[in-house]
């Protein structure tokens, strides 16, 4: 096991059901040198069906593929923490997971081995709860609701997530609570929400028929709770809303065949229209800042809740890259979603970067993230150990993060990666430890 810095890897409920918790933990120590694991408290259907190369899990002996449910809890929720919200946690109904609680199963064996345990909490993307509570979903400027997410300014939504972190901090021995999908959800397009342009040049170019200005103006949220919060914070919400509406309707009413022809010629590649809009239109700038303020306030509220129960539990936040879509291509830019590395680094105990596949992408996005965080909290970036990565690519990633001054390594992920890739990670991490 690596001792001098954090080496973490995800542990999914279906992995420990398959391997057994002891074999799984001994495996991640042996094959990666991991000293920490993080486990999801819930997950989403789309990520197992659309992602992970068909979901085949080479280490699992019995469960070779697993289709996760949307938004159902793998731990045993305690109803008393959810008395202030109409949104109640729902336990998994998968017979495979009956009577199984991943946090309870892990807490003893993880700490017996001198490892750390983090509860991985996906927040505002939750298709199951969004469809059950459509009135809690984000609203776009046209009044449409994105029914795969929840608005952080809705009192029932923040009440629910305060309940989740209180429940975990009170009832389980965890060292950290990691916030993921931390932003105001918008539908990025495509059948799984994985982006309008995910097929164009590996996801780096806009789809041919999308005007980036329209994409930005089409993002939420304009629900009544956002309006109330914005007014409390001193934003002129009616003025902002009127201007976004006018510009969004102008985009809709433009001849889409012209937009399409221009796009085909590469007209939108520089995205200068977006920069012009933010620079020229004060109301647009204020609207985007309000989203960032929303996420900073949300992080502060959740952190205060966690620390009031257990000051030793760290609150970490995983964010999409500052400059591009994340590696899953579900979202375009963090700032459309209200996430700001710079603003959130003053609240989070550490920030995780989930960037693209290539070393170039990881280098560029990682550098931007480190500049934005500017030493205010530790920063780490995912090491993708799953195919198409090969052992040499694993070594390159780890050397790169080390040279950039990242503070920990998340090896993603034990379930899917070939052992030779994991061993490459282990050797490279040992070499870094020995040089310290």
Residue with tokens 């933010």: 278
**Considering the complex, what minimum distance in angstroms separates the CB of residue 229 from Zn ion?**
8
* Contact residue for Zn ion among 37, 103, 158, 226 (CB under 5 A): 226
Tell me which stretch binds Zn ion (CB under 5 A): 45-53, 67-75, 150-158, 322-330.
150-158
Tell me which stretch binds Zn ion (CB under 5 A): 44-52, 144-152, 166-174, 407-415.
144-152
**Considering the complex, what minimum distance in angstroms separates the CB of residue 136 from Zn ion?**
9
Task: Dihedral sign for Cα 182, 186, 192, 195, please.
Answer: negative
**Taking a C-beta distance cutoff of 8 angstroms, is the pair 102, 16 a contact?**
yes
Q: Which is nearer to Zn ion, 152 or 408 (CB)?
A: 152
**By CB under 5 A, is residue 146 in contact with Zn ion?**
no
Q: Which is nearer to Zn ion, 226 or 353 (CB)?
A: 226
**Considering the complex, what minimum distance in angstroms separates the CB of residue 239 from Zn ion?**
18
Tell me which stretch binds Zn ion (CB under 5 A): 64-72, 89-97, 225-233, 304-312.
225-233
Tell me which stretch binds Zn ion (CB under 5 A): 97-105, 210-218, 224-232, 278-286.
224-232
Rounded Cα–Cα distance for residues 411 and 390 (Å)? 13
Tell me which stretch binds Zn ion (CB under 5 A): 79-87, 100-108, 153-161, 266-274.
153-161
**Considering the complex, what minimum distance in angstroms separates the CB of residue 281 from Zn ion?**
21
**Taking a C-beta distance cutoff of 8 angstroms, is the pair 127, 104 a contact?**
no
**Taking a C-beta distance cutoff of 8 angstroms, is the pair 363, 389 a contact?**
no
Task: Dihedral sign for Cα 338, 330, 44, 389, please.
Answer: negative
Rounded Cα–Cα distance for residues 244 and 130 (Å)? 25
Backbone phi and psi for residue 380, each to the nearest 5 degrees, phi listed first: -140, 165
User: CA separation (Å) from 206 to 199, 263, 329, 357?
Assistant: 9, 8, 12, 18
Q: Which is nearer to Zn ion, 94 or 301 (CB)?
A: 301
Q: Which is nearer to Zn ion, 109 or 183 (CB)?
A: 183
**Considering the complex, what minimum distance in angstroms separates the CB of residue 224 from Zn ion?**
8
**Taking a C-beta distance cutoff of 8 angstroms, is the pair 172, 103 a contact?**
yes
Q: Which is nearer to Zn ion, 221 or 274 (CB)?
A: 221
**Considering the complex, what minimum distance in angstroms separates the CB of residue 135 from Zn ion?**
11
List 91's β-bridge partners, or say none: 73
**Considering the complex, what minimum distance in angstroms separates the CB of residue 393 from Zn ion?**
40
Q: Which is nearer to Zn ion, 103 or 223 (CB)?
A: 223
Rounded Cα–Cα distance for residues 35 and 213 (Å)? 44
**Considering the complex, what minimum distance in angstroms separates the CB of residue 152 from Zn ion?**
7
Identify residues 182-221 at the interface with Zn ion (CB under 5 A).
221
**By CB under 5 A, is residue 223 in contact with Zn ion?**
yes
**Considering the complex, what minimum distance in angstroms separates the CB of residue 168 from Zn ion?**
25
Rounded Cα–Cα distance for residues 351 and 317 (Å)? 5
Q: Which is nearer to Zn ion, 295 or 347 (CB)?
A: 295
* Contact residue for Zn ion among 11, 151, 216, 424 (CB under 5 A): 151
Q: Which is nearer to Zn ion, 18 or 156 (CB)?
A: 156
Q: Which is nearer to Zn ion, 220 or 322 (CB)?
A: 220
**Considering the complex, what minimum distance in angstroms separates the CB of residue 153 from Zn ion?**
5
Residues whose CB is less than 8 angstroms from the CB of residue 38 and which lie 6 or more positions away in sequence, other chains included: 8, 9, 10, 11, 117, 118, 119, 120, 176, 178
**By CB under 5 A, is residue 150 in contact with Zn ion?**
no
- Among residues 31, 3, 7, the alpha carbon closest in space to that of 118 is found at 7
Tell me which stretch binds Zn ion (CB under 5 A): 33-41, 146-154, 342-350, 417-425.
146-154
Q: Which is nearer to Zn ion, 31 or 291 (CB)?
A: 291
# residues near Zn ion by CB under 5 A? 5
Tell me which stretch binds Zn ion (CB under 5 A): 111-119, 151-159, 211-219, 377-385.
151-159
**Considering the complex, what minimum distance in angstroms separates the CB of residue 221 from Zn ion?**
3
Rounded Cα–Cα distance for residues 34 and 116 (Å)? 10
**By CB under 5 A, is residue 153 in contact with Zn ion?**
yes
Tell me which stretch binds Zn ion (CB under 5 A): 61-69, 143-151, 321-329, 399-407.
143-151
Q: Which is nearer to Zn ion, 232 or 255 (CB)?
A: 232
Give buried/exposed letters for 378-414 (b at 16+ CB in 10 A, else e): bbbbbbbbbeebebebbbbbbebbbeeebebbbbbbb
What residues line the site for Zn ion (CB under 5 A)? 151, 153, 221, 223, 226
């Amino acid at each position: 096991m690596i001792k001098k810095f954090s080496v973490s890897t995800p542990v999914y409920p279906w992995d420990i059901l398959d391997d057994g918790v002891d074999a799984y933990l001994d495996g991640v120590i042996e094959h990666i040198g991991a000293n920490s694991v993080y486990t999801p408290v819930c997950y989403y259907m789309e990520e197992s069906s659309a992602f992970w190369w068909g979901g085949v899990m080479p280490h699992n002996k019995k469960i070779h593929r697993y289709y996760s449910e949307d938004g159902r809890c793998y731990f045993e929720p305690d109803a008393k923490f959810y008395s202030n919200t109409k949104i109640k946690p729902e336990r998994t109904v998968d017979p495979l997971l009956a009577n199984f609680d991943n946090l309870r199963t892990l807490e003893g064996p993880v700490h017996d081995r001198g490892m750390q345990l983090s509860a991985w909490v996906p927040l505002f993307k939750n298709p199951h709860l969004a469809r059950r509570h459509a009135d809690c979903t984000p609203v776009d400027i046209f009044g449409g609701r994105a029914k795969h997410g929840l608005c952080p300014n809705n009192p029932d939504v923040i009440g629910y997530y305060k309940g989740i972190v209180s429940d975990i901090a009170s009832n389980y021995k965890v060292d950290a609570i990691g916030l993921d999908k931390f932003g105001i959800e918008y539908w990025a397009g495509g059948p799984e929400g994985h982006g309008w342009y995910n097929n164009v040049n590996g996801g780096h170019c806009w789809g041919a028929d999308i005007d980036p200005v329209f994409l930005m103006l089409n993002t939420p949220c304009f629900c009544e709770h956002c309006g109330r919060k914005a007014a409390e914070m001193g934003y002129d919400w009616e003025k902002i809303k009127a201007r976004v509406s006018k510009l969004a309707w102008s985009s809709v009413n433009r001849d889409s065949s012209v937009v399409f022809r221009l796009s085909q010629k590469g007209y939108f590649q520089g995205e200068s229209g977006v920069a012009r809009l933010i620079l020229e239109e004060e109301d647009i700038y204020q609207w985007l800042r309000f989203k960032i303020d929303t996420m900073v306030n949300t992080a502060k509220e959740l952190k205060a809740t966690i620390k009031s129960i257990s000051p030793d539990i760290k609150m970490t936040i995983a964010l999409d890259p500052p400059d591009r879509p994340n590696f899953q291509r579900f979202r375009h830019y963090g700032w459309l979603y209200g996430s700001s590395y710079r603003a959130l680094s003053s609240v989070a105990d550490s920030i995780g970067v989930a960037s693209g596949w290539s070393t170039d992408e990881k280098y560029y996005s990682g550098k931007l993230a480190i500049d934005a965080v500017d030493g205010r909290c530790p920063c780490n970036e995912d090491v993708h150990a799953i195919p198409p990565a090969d052992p040499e690519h694993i070594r390159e990633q780890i050397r790169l993060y080390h040279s950039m001054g990242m503070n920990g390594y998340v090896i993603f992920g034990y379930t899917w990666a070939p052992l030779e890739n994991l061993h490459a990670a282990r050797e490279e991490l040992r070499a870094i430890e020995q040089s310290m």
